[in-house]
Amino acid sequence: MRIGLIRHGETEWNATGLLQGATDIPLNSRGLDQAGDAAGLLVGQGWSNLYSSPLSRARVTAEIIGEGTGLGAPILLPGIIERSFGVLEGEKYWMPDGTRRPLDHPTVEPRAAVVERSLATIGEVAAAHPDEDSLIVCHGSVIRLVLTAILSAQAPHIGNLGLSILRPGAEGGFVVTLLNGYPLVPTP
Please list the active-site residues: 8, 82
Distance (Å, rounded) from C-alpha 84 to C-alpha 67?
29
Among candidate residues 149, 146, 148, 144, the one with its CA nearest the CA of residue 162? 144
How many other CB atoms sit within 10 Å of the CB of residue 62?
27
In this structure, the strands spanning 174-179 and 182-183 are antiparallel
Distance (Å, rounded) from C-alpha 145 to C-alpha 156?
10
DSSP for 24-64, please give it: -PPB-HHHHHHHHHHHHHHTTS-EEEEEE-SSHHHHHHHHH
Collapsing DSSP states into helix, strand and coil, what is residue 183? strand
